Each structure stands twice: as C-alpha cells, then as structure tokens.
Amino acid sequence: MINFNYETDFKLLDDAKISNWISSIIIKEKCNEEEINYVFCDDDYLHKLNVQFLDHDTLTDIISFDYSVGKKLQGDIFISVERVKDNAKDFNVEFESELHRVIIHGILHYCGYKDKTEADASEMRLKENEALALLQTM
C-alpha cells in the first residue's frame, strides 16, 4: 500500500496515477509492495530529519528510511518540495519531471539499486529514465 502524506500545502495532482505507477515499477523489479509512506514537506522539516537521524547538516531533496525485508518493500520516503523545485530550476527541467524522478529514486533504492559510485549512479539514472518513460504511457 502506498500512502501520500503532506506536511506542506503541496498536493500531488493525480495521486492514484502516481501510486499505480510506483506499484508497476515495484512489480517490474520483481519485488513485493508492503507499506510505503511518502511525506511531502519543506526544507526545514527534512533538514531536521537529516540532522537528527543521519547526522548530516545539509539540505537534501529526499531521505528514505528503508524497512524492507528481502523483496518485501516497506519504508518512509520524505521529499522536500522546496528542494525539488530548486533542483528542477538548476537542472533546467519541469518541476513535475524532477518530482517524479525523486519519487521513483526512493523506490529504486528499496529495490536494491545504489548510487554511491559512478557506475551505480549511471545504472540508477537508467532505471529512473525507464520508469519516467513508463509514466508517460500511463
């Protein structure tokens, strides 16, 4: 079950479509969907989590807490809408495109993809692009 929670005025335009898309990626990756909670928030909210739980005193667009067991995916994914907006400007892409990339990025981590090395980051970007292409067909 995918849940969307809001700690800011932001709301997804079509949460049913996004939920179905996320579920389809989980199935494509041969994983099982358990409870996945998205929390859309602002920079301050996410910064506090970053400091408290990860000991990182920086701004970020996403923090995910992965409670998955094997291929049974579950966890909490926090997304700073402010950071996504700034990153969209920096990368010269539409806000929704960047938001969708960040949304699926967290799920791909749960599926086992990493992004610490150049090779892993390249594979992660490929998987993100495949997922974004699928969303365009839904």
* Residue 105 neighbours by CB distance under 10 Å: 21
Please answer whether residues 83 and 77 qualify as being in contact, where contact means their C-beta atoms are separated by less than 8 angstroms: no
If DSSP codes are grouped into helix, strand and coil, which group holds residue 37?
strand
In the annotated binding site, the residues are 105, 109, 115
**For residues 82 and 90, what is the distance between their CA atoms, to the nearest angstrom?**
12
In the annotated binding site for Zn(2+), the residues are 105, 109, 115
Indicate the DSSP class of residue 136. H
Amino acid at 122: S
- For tokens 């907006």, the residue is 85
